[in-house]
A and B are shown apart, each in its own frame.
Chain A
């Protein structure tokens, strides 16, 4: 069913459909040693479909996903404990293959766009590689080691792609909050913006709102922050436990 979906489906439908498939992918992982060939085919097709709908570079992804799908099955084995890894060795393993992945790293010359490297495409390609490997872990090999380091992508490429949109969002929120709070306080107290800035209480409010905008970006963040704070001192508490109970029982006496 999944393979019949065309890449032109609207994103939302493929999201709905590929979610259950994603769950079944996880189930397949748990039966790892007993994989059947048909499951492999379905899974790689899923990857192709899901990826196609989401990423801009459609054709290439489907291509690179489907070519490994043609390589067959890991031999259906029972866990043969006496011969480690022999079963996997004999079959042709589904491996990550991409024409631009050369010698354990991305060949930057293949990413050029108008004379310069297209860093966004490098980031996309690496994300796809990691996703593939997360779903289909591969044996690491010493003859063909992976030596890619994300730091070859220059800092400004990361900033442009990830930091700036988020910064815009947060600044926008801060500006909206600031404008309305200034208006609100002014209407209640008659204190203008310049005089508000001189007031200590208003400065505290400003600090809280900026901090809040920075730290709490999604609804879930509030719980996460609370858990984080508890987590930072949890280990210390475990170590102090042997001293705590001494003080506690002392105060009982």
Chain B
């Protein structure tokens, strides 16, 4: 107990950044706020669109944008997908759970590697192999983002969406408070990159009925609607090409290093990619020390990546929690733009794609397949559905992060717990299928006792360690 209370190492910022809403949004807030009272049958009461289908712009062509555009197009909505860099290789761990392959009908050839073994390494180098409980058909898929993103966009295009290579600049929202706001369209301004005409792109504008912001952690759409800020982690990664013999070790194995030297509130990783490994780490609270953490990660893995050549260095922000506002009138945020990244594992690809799809489904339903105008209530249904489906997963991972990433002693206990078969089974079940399934109560009780035991033992050792320097 002393360990838990004494460690506030993660330093949760008591300054609740999220609720500091941007002042520009105060006008927009007043518009149409009666929805709590009239609710539900929004599609029946909203005006029918005459002569044209609903037009939706999806800003950003990553997993979230691609999934949203495909579902919208299939639902009969006129969809425009605006992506600024069609060959973008976004810095990313690249791990997708098994359920994503099934739910999104991903072809197996976009998966570079099937990871079936994971090694967790504690601060004192106690190493535990997890993956014993995986069935032969279960794996964690490692993908290249450029391949996955391009595939999803292609499917969206095949379904009828128009893919535009352009950069979203800003948008004009319908004036708030006026009676017309229910039907006035949004005007989006973007730079279209057409290599034939000019290098910088030509300015274009378009009128749309709704906007889906899928443009990632630094979302411009989020800024436009005053969605507020979130705390974010910096993930720093180096792609290292290692000799064939060493690559054999990483053929289907990923490694996770925990420790204060590697990251004070996250973990360092070595993930295998198509023909190289990605060595990286991340942090929320000590961003300026990221290079030091990276050096420490390289040191911890040094025997296994020695002789490797760094072929690329990349970094990217990772949201830690959703933005305070995810929906405003007929604009919704999905994916990283909304902040749907789990704690503890930092997983975001699946949730991005799923939220894109859910948002699109809500739009299709709310507009009765593109025949009626939608309103904010329809988009809130998507929020409800997403929150309800995945809140347990997010909360459990948050609790795990709070308990096990606080200090080196907690991390030692964490790695010790991972050696247990039941823990491995539960972890993989919840990761691969995104279900938080309560297991056998007796086993759960045993697990709880073992967890407490591990934590107590490592905090006792921590006290001994403190005595040594004192």
Contact = CB atoms under 8 A, between A and B. Distances in A.
Contacts of A82: 309-310
Nearest to B257: A140
Contacts of B395: 235-236
A36 B101 CA distance: 51
A84 B322 contact: no
Interface stretch (B1-9, B140-148, B199-207): B1-9
B322 A141 contact: no
A235 B18 CA distance: 11
B324 A134 contact: no
Interface string B283-304: 0000001001001101111111
Interface in A62-116: 79, 81-86, 88-89
B469 A22 contact: yes
Interface string B221-234: 00000001010000
Contacts of A245: 19, 21, 29, 324-325
Interface stretch (A142-150, A179-187, A205-213): A142-150
Given A22-B469, A146-B124, A150-B416, A88 B12 contact: no
Nearest to B450: A151
Given A83-B307, A137-B259, A221 B299 contact: no
Given A81-B310, A236-B395, A242-B322, A89 B468 contact: no
Interface in A231-247: 231-232, 234-239, 241-247
Given A134-B465, A239-B321, A245-B324, A85 B33 contact: no
Nearest to B240: A84
Contacts of B464: 123-124, 127
B321 A55 contact: no
B217 to A, nearest CB: 16
Interface string A143-170: 0011111110101001001100000000
B394 interface: yes
Interface in B432-470: 453-454, 456-458, 460-461, 463-465, 467-470
Contact of B14 (A124, A224, A227): A227
A8 interface: no
A78 B228 CA distance: 42
Contacts of B295: 32-33, 79
A131 B324 CA distance: 42
Contacts of A83: 307, 309
A133 B303 contact: no
B468 A55 contact: yes
B261 to A, nearest CB: 4
A247 B470 CA distance: 53
B352 interface: no
Contacts of A243: 383
Contacts of B173: none
B64 to A, nearest CB: 17
A83 B461 CA distance: 37
A10 B225 CA distance: 65
A242 B302 contact: no
A86 B310 CA distance: 12
Interface residues of A, number: 75
A158 B460 contact: yes
Nearest to A82: B309
Contacts of A221: 5
B322 A238 contact: yes
Contacts of B321: 235, 238-239
A15 interface: yes
A30 B292 contact: yes
A249 B467 CA distance: 54
A129 B124 contact: yes
Contact of B306 (A79, A81, A89, A147): A89
B125 interface: yes
B149 interface: no
Contacts of A141: 303
B457 A158 contact: yes
A246 B322 contact: no
Interface residues of B, number: 82
Given A138-B125, A237-B16, A150 B302 contact: no
A231 B12 contact: yes
B5 A242 contact: no
A131 B465 contact: yes
B36 interface: yes
A124 B463 CA distance: 11
Interface string A4-35: 00000000000100100010000001101100
Given A22-B469, A32-B295, A148 B126 contact: yes
B196 to A, nearest CB: 39
A124 B468 CA distance: 9
B104 interface: no
B124 A85 contact: no
B398 interface: yes
A1 interface: no
Contact of B324 (A148, A230, A241): A241
Nearest to A89: B306
Given A84-B298, A237-B16, A134 B305 contact: no
A164 B470 CA distance: 22
A123 B126 contact: no
B236 to A, nearest CB: 14
B266 to A, nearest CB: 16
Contacts of B261: 29, 134, 137
A130 B308 contact: no
A142 B303 contact: yes
A205 to B, nearest CB: 23
Given A139-B301, A155-B453, A227 B126 contact: no
B394 A239 contact: yes
Interface in B184-230: 228, 230
B260 interface: yes
A38 interface: no
A237 B13 CA distance: 13
Interface in A216-231: 217, 220-221, 224-225, 227-228, 230-231
11 contacts: A83-B309, A88-B302, A137-B299, A139-B300, A142-B249, A145-B127, A149-B126, A149-B419, A150-B457, A158-B457, A242-B323
Given A140-B257, A242-B326, 14 more contacts: A18-B469, A47-B468, A83-B307, A84-B298, A134-B259, A139-B303, A140-B303, A145-B125, A147-B126, A150-B457, A227-B14, A235-B398, A241-B323, A242-B324
